[in-house]
Amino acid sequence: MAGNSFGKLFTLTTYGESHGPALGGVIDGCPSGIELDLDAIQQELDRRKPGQSSIVTQRKEPDVVQFHSGIFEGKTTGTSIGFVIENTNQKSHDYTHIKDSYRPSHADYVYDQKYGFRDYRGGGRSSARETACRVVAGAVAKQMLKGMEFYAYVSGVGALKLDKTYNELDLTQIESNIVRCPDAAMAATMETYIKEVRGKGDTVGGVVTCVIKNVPVGLGEPVFDKLHAELGKAMLSINAVKGFEYGSGFEGCTMLGSEHNDAFNTDGTTKTNNSGGVQGGISNGMDIYFNVAFKPVATLIQEYETIDKEGKVVVMHGKGRHDPCVVPRAVPIVEAMAALVLADFFLRNKMYN
Amino acid sequence: MAGNSFGKLFTLTTYGESHGPALGGVIDGCPSGIELDLDAIQQELDRRKPGQSSIVTQRKEPDVVQFHSGIFEGKTTGTSIGFVIENTNQKSHDYTHIKDSYRPSHADYVYDQKYGFRDYRGGGRSSARETACRVVAGAVAKQMLKGMEFYAYVSGVGALKLDKTYNELDLTQIESNIVRCPDAAMAATMETYIKEVRGKGDTVGGVVTCVIKNVPVGLGEPVFDKLHAELGKAMLSINAVKGFEYGSGFEGCTMLGSEHNDAFNTDGTTKTNNSGGVQGGISNGMDIYFNVAFKPVATLIQEYETIDKEGKVVVMHGKGRHDPCVVPRAVPIVEAMAALVLADFFLRNKMYN
Amino acid sequence: MAGNSFGKLFTLTTYGESHGPALGGVIDGCPSGIELDLDAIQQELDRRKPGQSSIVTQRKEPDVVQFHSGIFEGKTTGTSIGFVIENTNQKSHDYTHIKDSYRPSHADYVYDQKYGFRDYRGGGRSSARETACRVVAGAVAKQMLKGMEFYAYVSGVGALKLDKTYNELDLTQIESNIVRCPDAAMAATMETYIKEVRGKGDTVGGVVTCVIKNVPVGLGEPVFDKLHAELGKAMLSINAVKGFEYGSGFEGCTMLGSEHNDAFNTDGTTKTNNSGGVQGGISNGMDIYFNVAFKPVATLIQEYETIDKEGKVVVMHGKGRHDPCVVPRAVPIVEAMAALVLADFFLRNKMYN
Amino acid sequence: MAGNSFGKLFTLTTYGESHGPALGGVIDGCPSGIELDLDAIQQELDRRKPGQSSIVTQRKEPDVVQFHSGIFEGKTTGTSIGFVIENTNQKSHDYTHIKDSYRPSHADYVYDQKYGFRDYRGGGRSSARETACRVVAGAVAKQMLKGMEFYAYVSGVGALKLDKTYNELDLTQIESNIVRCPDAAMAATMETYIKEVRGKGDTVGGVVTCVIKNVPVGLGEPVFDKLHAELGKAMLSINAVKGFEYGSGFEGCTMLGSEHNDAFNTDGTTKTNNSGGVQGGISNGMDIYFNVAFKPVATLIQEYETIDKEGKVVVMHGKGRHDPCVVPRAVPIVEAMAALVLADFFLRNKMYN
């Protein structure tokens, strides 16, 4: 109820602060007998980890996941899967500058107001470091959902927007560059721009597009737990996300019904896919696709004025090793959350059969 | 788990098909001692009801809510509140045309695939008629949340977009016209356009903007149940919604961090509000505002080809009395869902105090 | 969260006060395609209703259930099933005597303390009248669980205890007498005793034993949601229940392990069944059996002293038409709750297959 | 949904197998600002640990809890509290004898049936070793519930039954002997008996009584989540528990209403307490007390016949270091589960104020 669990049947509960001894989580509801490729899970985590390329934060965290339970002889046992990621980068930082002050557009102020005090080290629980646990669980979910394919990629950085739809892109090329944009030319432009922004101590936002293929018909629960509603919640729960749209999205609302409706082929597939693979909240077997908007990272390597706990104006200077643009590292997180949503609905749909 | 409940502490569970004997629901978790203005609840329902103006469906449904429990001597008792809305418009329609065929971009096909068969009368459970129950519960939630103010309005119809922010509008004027757009000139333009679209038997999408004022600091639960994530889910669960953005939204992701950050005033308020009243998933006391994109209604009063259950091509002709544009009637639904989300977080926040 | 829902996948949410306009509920999670025998549901309700025999309360309530949704062409649709039971016996009683006073061993005092005030008419929400909704939902659950058999019966009234195990009884005889004890001689003795107690304006407690046959192996979820733990909660949630034991129960704790262990037959069944059909919280395919202890009804038709809201001593005299012994009418309630528990675990177990 | 979480607002999710690398859990919903005495938590764990006395299993497990999150500067932060207990006693046992065979009255058979295979090492997830995590969380809950007092003690071992009520005992003497029976004479008799039973390689059951003092009025949620119903579920979820009764319990059902009703004092307390501190499912401020029946441990140090996976009869011989009687070590587990239930209702009750 305090918001640290996600999913109803395939459930992830997480814990951990940015600079505490460890992060971890419990995956509950994973069926038994699934052969887990632990290396593949670690690889997903590596896609998210700091220091992986020249355009992300240069912090060093190995982010190695250890599993404590729920796996026996290489297979899931049907019992809860506990895992831990130790924080190895816990050197005694100097937090004096943020201990008593509130960074703009961070959670410092609201945490203090809500809880009376806060673990200010590195943002505590509000740090996006927490998403490492999501990636672990999402990687388990992906392995449960054999056959479904999850492709997230960067489609926008600041004003730079990929003007091709996912169908016009080679989705196998996502990992071919450090931006994780499958269009090589745009990726290069984005990389240059991110570096330019970083050079000014500034940050920039972006968009991640996600495509899910081979989703069976029937996933999603009317009326409140529509498939796209849970996908939306999942994405909006990721740090820095400001918007979500699926299928035709915001653009679709400018269209006429006669343009927007997806006519059927005789096999139940549709000629167009403005629906984004979801009709009435239930998957219709077509590709699911959606966009996720990320705001610019709030931590600037610049000097600025803000207030302290007493409401006095103070001058702060952002320091440390931060991402100038969050979307390249957000790609595996978006995929992970999508996989968690699909895993949950996959199990929920078993009730009906 | 089958998706008919919303909220964790302030919970709404609903039932009812478009053409069944009645719709209804149970509100659980409403604290005791709240004086309920039942007329105000009915008024909210009247804002949603069919036939209220010349630009909405001309179906006649009085939509009168009856309360069965949980209220005694004018006040909530703290026990569950059961209510029923009878369907009075249940005349024996002829459903032959939709019984065995699948309307494009409706839920007919996926319901059949998921459940094996469906109540095809008027769309059954997939009909937006279900949202009447949401409006009832949202109206109760509003009364619990004394002091908070909910203003939803139409900010877009097709390509027509209100280019004023909510701060530039007089939100008391929302109900002054049948479009529910607080800008009289734009409202008139929109009305004309909707009628034009209807004249062709077509439909058009739109955008509803919602503003919530006087939200106390501290509502929202990190990490998965962020305030805006639950708002997003709530909105996306409304029929025909394709997208959600809050604060700076999709536009915000094109900005630099130095432009986007909201600097603090000394009282903890912020000079700008790109955050949309939410930081780190928790309300910061500033106005919450967000946009909700609605696709064009799928039912056209036109002839079109589609498929039947056997996958054969059939010609259908949309008939009946449908909304040419859903947003005017969606306004009270958006407010209701926002109130349900806030009510839930209001109670959840009590855990900490 | 306010306690008006039961079950996680097969969920019942109820509402209604003893003397309000109606009781009702929503069953969510019932799979689609189940042919419902509505008469059989009404019959279960008739087994619980007041006035059915000379040893139960003589109040007249027809208790007719009306279904509002979730059923189409005789079958469940997979959407939520709403139902209502109108209160026809709502004549304007005189509640002056209980309005401001607290009846001993009733919920009057704690409701006032918890909620600030209470619906005092007939006990409001704390009345066992609420269990009518459980019986409706339990009857639906039974029909979903084709093949499982539920036999509850009265095994104790006051000091009168049936000394035969369920294996020594003819369970088809439960409905052959008004006590619902399948041993005719004991039933007669119990009936006489209940009438004697009633003659003094007193009440007496009793025990209901329940047997569930043909439960498949594998139902129940370790570690917190053990099958018998949920059965225990279900039974203890029925008004007036003071204890629950399954299999060897309290007697079993006096035994040695060498006496108590259930040796296996080669087909996985066991030679004895001290386990009561549950091992490690999971059904093992043997008969499930358990006992439920009911306290004597608190309402006496006698004069007694108690206190009013101001803490002053007042003299009250119980009146009205009350059950001298609750167990004959509790039999269908016990069965209903058992069916709800099994239905929930039946669906939950589908996750693993 | 797979049963590894307990509680709705104050939630514990656990993981871990008997012989895996570690056990652990996540406590979610604990309010911020609670000063945690970590030594007191470890002490509770020490009361449960193996090898603590001559009448419990002689296995050696230090059972040291490490906290990973949710605590900062000695106080809870309001975020999720992750903790781990490493298994240090993981030497490579020889499991050949249980790998392919089913021990009577253990969970081996049902786990294989439910999940397709099982972690057979030391019982895997079905081992009572899992309860260590409950004790940790219960100890946190106790510290949140300042003022409430939890006293569990052994009141029965086999046929030996303490014939004093809790009011006649000095509850500060529970820890004065290794049986955890506050009556010294009975404790000595029980100890002798347990050793005698162990000498034969046999085991014996027992009863734990629990008393909770200083519970405020108003905890518990009608109708399904009655306080005693959740207590019952909590207790029945502990390994080896066969029955639960509170207040007058099974004995109460033999009484007349005129004997059983608890007359009020003018301050709202009652002259007797057959209600066991709970009326209508809600605490009334009187002492809560209940009994929990534990069956004899199923593992005998004797030779016996059982079946293997193929259904063939095999001869097994129990070995290892097992508890001859589980109740002395069950005492802190009962207290922990009681504290978890009360913590949950304590938070739930905040909704109403």
Neighbours of A216 (CB within 10 A): 16
Q: Which pair of tokens denotes residue D255? A: 């009484």
pLDDT of residue C97: 74
| DSSP string over B68-137 | -SSEETTEE-SS-EEEEEE---------HHHHSEE-TTSSHHHHHHHHSS---GGGGGGSGGGHHHHHHH
Answer whether residue C187 shows pLDDT above 90: yes
Subunits touching B (CB < 8 Å, at least 3 pairs)? A, C, D
Chain A contact present for D22, CB below 8 A: yes
Q: Which pair of tokens denotes residue D234? A: 């909590």
Answer whether residue C98 shows pLDDT above 90: no
Assigned fold of A5-352: Chorismate synthase, AroC fold (3.60.150)
Q: Is D126 annotated as a binding residue?
A: yes
**Which tens digits make up the pLDDT trace of D6-25?**
999 999 999 999 999 999 99
pLDDT band at D322 (very low <50, low <70, confident <90, very high): confident
- Largest alpha-carbon pair distance within chain D? 68
Residues paired with B160 in a beta bridge: B157
Residue of C nearest to A10 (CA): C351
| Contact call for B125 and C79, based on CB within 8 A | yes
Span D306-328, average pLDDT: 90
Answer whether residue C186 shows pLDDT above 70: yes
Q: Which pair of tokens denotes residue B193? A: 């356009």
Cβ burial, residue A146 (10 Å; 0-12/13-18/19+): exposed
**What spatial distance separates the first Cα and last Cα of chain B, rounded to whole Å?**
30
Q: Which pair of tokens denotes residue A111? A: 């945490």
pLDDT band at B203 (very low <50, low <70, confident <90, very high): very high
Span B149-157, average pLDDT: 98
Residue of B nearest to D348 (CA): B351
pLDDT of residue A95: 79
**Which tens digits make up the pLDDT trace of B161-172?**
999 999 999 999
**Which tens digits make up the pLDDT trace of D45-60?**
999 999 899 898 888 8
Alpha helices in D2-158 (DSSP H): 38-48, 96-99, 108-115, 131-144
Rounded percentage of chain C residues whose pLDDT exceeds 90: 90
To the nearest whole Å, the CA of D293 is away from the closest chain A CA by 26
Q: Are D107 and D122 in contact (CB under 8 A)?
A: no
Q: Is C16 annotated as a binding residue?
A: no
Q: Are D114 and C281 in contact (CB under 8 A)?
A: no
Q: How many CA atoms lie within 13 A of B140 on its CB side?
A: 31
- State the count of interchain CB pairs (< 8 A) between A and B: 363
Q: Which pair of tokens denotes residue D350? A: 């905040």
Average pLDDT, chain C: 95
Tokens 């007349």 sit on residue: D256
Q: What are phi and psi of B335, to 5 degrees?
A: -60, -40
Selected for mutation to probe chain A from D72, D79, D111, D344 (highest A CB count within 10 Å) is D79
Answer whether residue D146 shows pLDDT above 90: yes
Q: Please report, for chain D, how many H helices and E strands are present, in that order.
A: 9, 17
Q: What are phi and psi of D138, to 5 degrees?
A: -60, -35
Mean pLDDT by 10 residues, chain A (353 residues): 96 96 97 97 96 88 95 97 90 75 96 95 93 98 97 98 97 98 98 97 97 98 97 98 98 97 97 98 98 96 93 87 93 98 97 74
Tokens 């006429």 sit on residue: A256
| Contact call for D79 and B9, based on CB within 8 A | no
Identify which of C89, C158, C82, C77 has the alpha carbon closest to the alpha carbon of residue C122.
C89
pLDDT band at C321 (very low <50, low <70, confident <90, very high): confident
pLDDT of residue B57: 87
To the nearest whole Å, the CA of B32 is away from the closest chain A CA by 21
Answer whether residue C353 shows pLDDT above 70: no
Chain D contact present for B272, CB below 8 A: no
Alpha helices in chain A (DSSP H): 38-48, 96-99, 108-115, 131-144, 184-199, 227-236, 249-252, 257-260, 327-349
| DSSP string over B158-200 | TTEE--S-GGGS-GGGGGGSTT--SSHHHHHHHHHHHHHHHHT
Span C140-147, average pLDDT: 97
Strand D313-317 and strand D303-308: the pairing is antiparallel
Average pLDDT, chain B: 95
Q: Are A88 and A22 in contact (CB under 8 A)?
A: no
Alpha helices in chain D (DSSP H): 38-48, 96-99, 108-115, 131-144, 184-199, 227-236, 249-252, 257-260, 327-349
| Contact call for C351 and A9, based on CB within 8 A | yes
**Which tens digits make up the pLDDT trace of A272-283?**
999 999 999 999
Buried b (16+ CB within 10 A) or exposed e, B243-275: bbbbbbbbebbbbbbbebbbebeeebebeebbb
pLDDT of residue A98: 81
pLDDT of residue C146: 94
Identity of the amino acid at B70:
G
The C-alpha atoms of residue B114 and residue C103 are separated, in whole angstroms, by 52
Span C271-299, average pLDDT: 97
Q: Are B210 and B150 in contact (CB under 8 A)?
A: yes
- Stated length of chain D: 353
Alpha helices in A22-151 (DSSP H): 38-48, 96-99, 108-115, 131-144
Chain A contact present for C34, CB below 8 A: no
Q: B25: which chain A residues are within 8 Å (Cβ-Cβ)?
A: none
> What are the residue boundaries of the structural domains of chain D, listed by start?
5-352
Span C33-41, average pLDDT: 98
- Asked if omega into D154 is within 30° of 0 (cis), the reply is no
pLDDT band at B91 (very low <50, low <70, confident <90, very high): low
Span D330-344, average pLDDT: 98
Answer whether residue B96 shows pLDDT above 80: no
ipTM tops 0.95: yes
Q: Is C116 annotated as a binding residue?
A: no
Can you give chain C as a three-state secondary structure string?
CCCCEECCCCEEEEECCCCCCEEEEEEECCCCCCECCHHHHHHHHHHHCCCCCCCCCCCCCCCCEEECCCEECCEECCCCEEEEEECCCCCCCCCHHHHCEECCCCCHHHHHHHHCCCCCHHHHHHCHHHHHHHHHHHHHHHHHCCCCEEEEEEEEECCEECCCCHHHCCHHHHHHCCCCCCCHHHHHHHHHHHHHHHHCCCCECEEEEEEEECCCCCCCECCCECHHHHHHHHHHCCCCEEEEEECCHHHHCCCEHHHHCCCECCCCCECCCCCCCEECCEECCCCEEEEEEECCCCCCCCEEEEEECCCCEEEEECCCCCCCCCHHHHHHHHHHHHHHHHHHHHHHHHHHC
To the nearest whole Å, the CA of B73 is away from the closest chain A CA by 32
Residue of A nearest to B133 (CA): A223
**Which tens digits make up the pLDDT trace of D87-102?**
987 666 677 778 899 9
> Please, which residues 146-165 of chain C have a Cβ atom closer than 8 Å to chain B?
none
Answer whether residue D127 shows pLDDT above 70: yes
Query: What percent of the residues of chain A are helix, what percent strand, and what percent coil, each to the nearest 5?
Result: 35, 25, 45
Q: What are phi and psi of A309, to 5 degrees?
A: -55, -30
The C-alpha atoms of residue C261 and residue B306 are separated, in whole angstroms, by 65
Q: C353: which chain A residues are within 8 Å (Cβ-Cβ)?
A: 31, 350
**Which tens digits make up the pLDDT trace of A328-340?**
999 999 999 999 9
pLDDT of residue A91: 63
Tokens 């392990």 sit on residue: C257
The C-alpha atoms of residue D345 and residue D219 are separated, in whole angstroms, by 6
Distances from the Cα of A86 to the Cα of A4, D22, D65, angstroms:
19, 14, 16
The C-alpha atoms of residue A133 and residue A24 are separated, in whole angstroms, by 6
| Contact call for D352 and B29, based on CB within 8 A | no
- Strand B81-86: give its sheet, edge to edge: B5-6, B11-15, B22-28, B81-86, B65-67
Buried b (16+ CB within 10 A) or exposed e, D9-30: bbbbbbbbbbbbbbbbbbbbbb
Answer whether residue D353 shows pLDDT above 70: no
Q: Which pair of tokens denotes residue A34? A: 């699934």
Q: Which pair of tokens denotes residue C260? A: 């108590």
Answer whether residue B319 shows pLDDT above 90: no
Q: Which pair of tokens denotes residue D209? A: 């009584």
**Which tens digits make up the pLDDT trace of B251-307?**
999 999 999 999 999 999 999 999 999 999 999 999 999 999 999 999 999 999 999
| Contact call for C284 and D110, based on CB within 8 A | yes
